[in-house]
Amino acid sequence: MDSKAIKQERTLVLLKPDAVARGLSGQIIVRFERAGLKIVALKMLHPSPDKAGGHYSGPDDWVSGMGQKTLDSFEQFEMDVEEVLGTADTLEIGQMVRGWLIDYVSAGPVIAMVLEGVHAITAVRRMIGFTIPSRAEPGTIRGDYAIDSNTISSLEKRSTKNLIHASGNAEEAAQEIAYWFDESEIISYTRADEGVMF
């Protein structure tokens, strides 16, 4: 079995409207390329709310997970989530967050791309940093270019502006790539430095 084929993965990355509007797209893309990840598909589009909603259409446990992150942040800062959001139920909070995400991603142009490389899913997640920028490590994309927090965004009834989305695992990557790209839009090629890097 070919060792390169085993290690190679594809993952979806979305540069969200705040990354595009702030002119950070090139700086973010170059970080992926310098790390050895290969862009095999790329396009700019302005998603409709329906398109964004399809992207954020996970099961109830995924929605509750988003609600739990928000609840945890409120508890960390000793804030009353029920006073601000009207509920402490993680599913209800998650549904609010999902609505804010749809508004956020459909608010302007995004850049969608498929990256390919050795352990690409894990590598990209490590490079982008923690979902909540105020908790992301320096040196990560979110840690270097964003500062928003989900507590502040919840108080303002909006999504946390965190610049970027990347698939969380292989199953999610396959679903998301198929959602944003036709197979004909994904290009196979060899980078000039692949022989040196691998």
Assign residue 103 the CATH number of its domain.
3.30.70.141
Torsion of CA 126, 130, 131, 133, to 10 degrees: -120
Contact criterion met (CB below 8 Å) for 146 and 153: no
Residue 191 counted as domain residue? no
d(CA 40, CA 189): 8
Measured over all CA atoms, what is the biggest interatomic distance in the chain, rounded to whole angstroms?
Answer: 58
Domain that holds residue 134: 3-185
Residue 196 domain flag:
no
Beta bridge partners of 10: 116
Confirm if 163 and 104 have CB atoms less than 8 A apart: no
What does the pLDDT read at residue 190? 92
Q: Confirm whether 99 is domain-assigned.
A: yes
Please tell me whether residue 43 adopts helix, strand or coil conformation: strand
Q: How many domains does the chain have?
A: 1
Cα distance between residue 61 and residue 48, in whole Å: 25
As a whole number of Å, the CA-based R_g of the chain is 17
Contact criterion met (CB below 8 Å) for 180 and 24? no
pLDDT at 2: 59
The 3-state DSSP class for residue 8 equals: strand
In a domain, 88, yes or no: yes
In a domain, 194, yes or no: no
Distance CA 110, CA 91 (A): 27
- Crossing angle for the helix pair 120-128 and 25-34, to the nearest 10 degrees: 130
User: Is residue 121 in some structural domain?
Assistant: yes
Question: In terms of C-beta density within 10 A (0-12 exposed, 13-18 middle, 19 or more buried), how is residue 48 classed?
Answer: exposed
List, by residue number, the catalytic residues: 165
pLDDT by residue for the chain (198 residues), tens only, comes to 555 555 789 999 999 999 999 999 999 999 999 999 999 999 999 999 999 999 999 889 999 999 998 898 889 889 999 999 999 999 999 999 999 999 999 999 999 999 999 999 999 999 999 998 989 999 999 999 999 988 889 889 999 999 999 999 999 999 999 999 999 999 999 999 888 887
The reply to whether 193 falls in a domain is: no
Is residue 190 assigned to a domain?
no
Q: What distance lies between CA 91 and its chain's CA centroid?
A: 21
